[in-house]
Structure 1
């Protein structure tokens, strides 16, 4: 019986003592501590990095004949590693596009995201969809899908191969492509439109578009290899396997060590989860080549939609300083120097097998619990005397926009009537509808466009979660409907046939302050009604 088993023997997670959490800064306080220039996005600078990475890749392809001629297979292996590093740098630029930190223009982000990701066979829109949840729920036991957390029960229910596959060194070359993107473990295939990753027709269309972009680049590479499968594998696919390995190592090391904490839903909070991210300095110029996604990852995680990669290191000292009061706790700023990054990755895959409960709602790797057992009781005892409050520094609300078309043929030409309801959760069974019509019409390119206030004043972002029916023939994102921000409010507009159709939208709004600080329903309704009345004049 291991020490971790003894700690939890006879106790379930909810029967363990609860650790009090020290007061943490809110996401707004962290943002205010960072220099304003760190949030500035430059189209010119972003495109310059995109071009830079393609130039480096082209240079590597130009020298490969000489590498093989003079250095043989040893030189070729070194070339593969170099291709993996530079390919990962290109991925980071596309990664900024996916988060919206490349530029303030969504169309440009989507275009450059495909330009960056398609040549490395990373389907841009599907990856963007799956990756977003990792950032929104970092260190959440159930919802953080980047590298799925494995509990003791999960581990013991796996086959021997599933338990120890990650220990096999070659697994790192396979975990991104094909296992994650093609096979679809754990999120669902990123290339198959009917995988569990996609719920709407729009998602499936995006999957096809991104998949075709990858296929086109793959075919172009095949043609450049003189239609030789051997050359295609040697000079295109193997470098992609190394790029996938580097990407897996980066994402794994940024969220793994023996002390890292993982939280069950009742213990998770946005800031608390993000503090479990680790900056790792690789050295030898590799961090610079890969746009500091390695040693600036903490800043990226706190503001993944706002800070471009070329400002991450400028933002990091401010984050480190505001987290200083948490030094000595599990929530302090974390940074490690890892010149041995590849061997550290192999070591952690061998040592970190599964999570076990450290306290109520808090899990840690089994080896970490074993290591700290002698100090664990003391920490809990001290924690009972600490007066602290958990900071709910970010919260989400949901909105349901239900639009119903008129019944007569003449009225069907008019905009369908929409009702906007407030929801506390995605599955809230008691929606609170606005007692007025929050919608209005505006001309756009000679036609009427219908706008509805989604009643999220002061929200930082608003995302479309679901559209019903999923196979709607008249409503297509970006073309006939879209969420638009007119600070401090968000609106969803519909035009063309979508404007007069039956449709329902479920939207999630993210606020950078606590739920307790949000206005009452009456205040929200009153302010929104005034806005609607003014816009109709």
Structure 2
């Protein structure tokens, strides 16, 4: 290839010179990145000179191509560029392979593991009152303000999920029976069976970002993408424009089939399923009886969809980015997956309050025994001791656009390959998102 200097002008001391325009230089070096330097030559030509630009006087210059080393893959400058490109505040360094999860846990202050009953029940009070306020807003709001009321109520009911989440991790109360009762009740408005979710979620923590075993979202495998045209179209929509609601399919697939659970787990699974079906069989008819079908849509369905928006969005952001790998079991490292493979993301403060800091997520993956009300103190400790390894972001459109338009099919070398790279003619939903989604960071 010839390197081209188009419309370039060079300033030299002495009389004004005419600008140099559109000169081509043949390469003297192999392909790569080079820095062009201008060096003065003697007037004697030889057979090796290729790129000469003669000025009006006696000076002759040569374009010398000097190799410039690219930024190392894990250099600070490279990570800074990726942060800007993907919408992150910081992309962390790779954690050394000899660091264990225990090494990280031992740096956390003991107080972050302490259960505080007052703080635990305060979170219940916040969720119950904010949810009740949301239902009141729905009942009084004119039709054009209903979306705002649904957004508030859907976010408030997400707080119920976080309370049940703490109960499932045994970080809500010292009384385990109380935890099981509170967790089951907190999940009922969401139609989530508590025990099935707990069993599958524990597996997610044990196998975070492990390609086959992680029960949360993971990249699409190539064999899935190629399995059938109909399934490919469904995946393109599911991992593209419908991804902010894809936790609905995850909820259906993972939590209602008894065959997915061990025989020793099935008794508790059956109890949870019975509670969920009882809520549906009693609660839904009561809502319809009091408010009609439209009331069921207004008071239950729309807030439930709002919850799934947050459930999908939070889960996406927690573990999905072009630089975060999913690894096979033989190459997986627990400390790297939990510290390097988890993302801290700041949302508007009202969302953080209603959702009980669930997005302060890195310490939760370091130890599930940390209650939600201690996550911020634990994260501060991680910043002090392991800050250079952390992935951190503030929610922004560029971050979401990156996830929805790039993080699709698994690649061992690149982590992800976008659908529109593999099948551009079938990826119109992805090209549409690239065109219409904002790119603000």
Q: TM-score range by the shorter chain?
A: 0.5 to 0.7
**Residue of structure 2 equivalent to 1:315:** 378
1:88 aligns to 2:166 (yes or no): no
**Residue of structure 2 equivalent to 1:427:** none
2:124 to 50, 53, 57: 50
- Secondary structure at the aligned position of 1:336 is classed as strand
- C-alpha separation in 1, matches of 2:401 and 2:157: 21
2:354 to 274, 280, 289: 289
1:121 to 187, 191, 195: 191
CA 1:293–1:333: 2 relative to 1, 3 Å: same
Q: Is the 8 A contact 1:130 1:197 kept in 2?
A: no
1:150 aligns to 2:224 (yes or no): no
Name the structure, 1 or 2, with higher relative contact order (CA <8 Å, separation 6+).
2
Offset, 1:347? 4.7
Alignment of 1:120-269 (within 5 A): 120-158=190-228, 159-167=231-239, 169-170=241-242, 172-173=244-245, 175-177=246-248, 179-182=249-252, 184=253, 188=254, 190-192=255-257, 194=258, 196-200=259-263, 202-218=264-280, 219-226=282-289, 228-269=292-333
**Residue of structure 2 equivalent to 1:60:** 134
2:111 to 34, 37, 46: 37
- C-alpha separation in 1, matches of 2:118 and 2:167: 14
Q: Is the 8 A contact 2:220 2:410 kept in 1?
A: yes
**Residue of structure 2 equivalent to 1:413:** none
Q: Deviations over 1:500-523 (max 9, x none)?
A: xxxxxxxxxxxxxxxxxxxxxxxx
Offset, 1:339? 4.2
Q: Is the 8 A contact 2:318 2:342 kept in 1?
A: yes
Offset, 1:23? 4.3
- Secondary structure at the aligned position of 1:57 is classed as helix
- C-alpha separation in 2, matches of 1:62 and 1:42: 31
Q: Deviations over 1:364-399 (max 9, x none)?
A: 1136xx9xxxxxxxxxxxxxxxxxxxxxxxxxxxxx
- Which structure has the bigger radius of gyration? 2
Offset, 1:42? 1.6
Q: Deviations over 1:217-247 (max 9, x none)?
A: 3322431342533321232122111111211
- C-alpha separation in 1, matches of 2:350 and 2:396: 11
Unaligned runs of 5+ in 1: 1-19, 371-537
Offset, 1:355? 1.8
**As a proportion of its length, which structure holds more helix?**
2
Alpha-carbon RMSD: 2.4
2:406 to 344, 351, 361: 351
**Residue of structure 2 equivalent to 1:366:** 417
- C-alpha separation in 1, matches of 2:146 and 2:239: 25
- Secondary structure at the aligned position of 1:280 is classed as strand
Offset, 1:171? 5.0
Offset, 1:261? 1.3
- Secondary structure at the aligned position of 2:137 is classed as helix
Q: Is the 8 A contact 1:134 1:144 kept in 2?
A: yes
CA 1:226–1:315: 2 relative to 1, 3 Å: same
CA 1:272–1:109: 2 relative to 1, 3 Å: same
Offset, 1:170? 4.2
Q: Is the 8 A contact 1:50 1:93 kept in 2?
A: yes
TM-score by length of 2: 0.68
CA 1:169–1:40: 2 relative to 1, 3 Å: same
Q: Deviations over 1:252-284 (max 9, x none)?
A: 111111111111111112101112100011124
- C-alpha separation in 1, matches of 2:217 and 2:242: 17
CA 1:110–1:54: 2 relative to 1, 3 Å: same
Q: Which moved more, 1:121-130 or 1:99-108?
A: 99-108
Q: Is the 8 A contact 2:319 2:343 kept in 1?
A: yes
- C-alpha separation in 2, matches of 1:160 and 1:142: 19
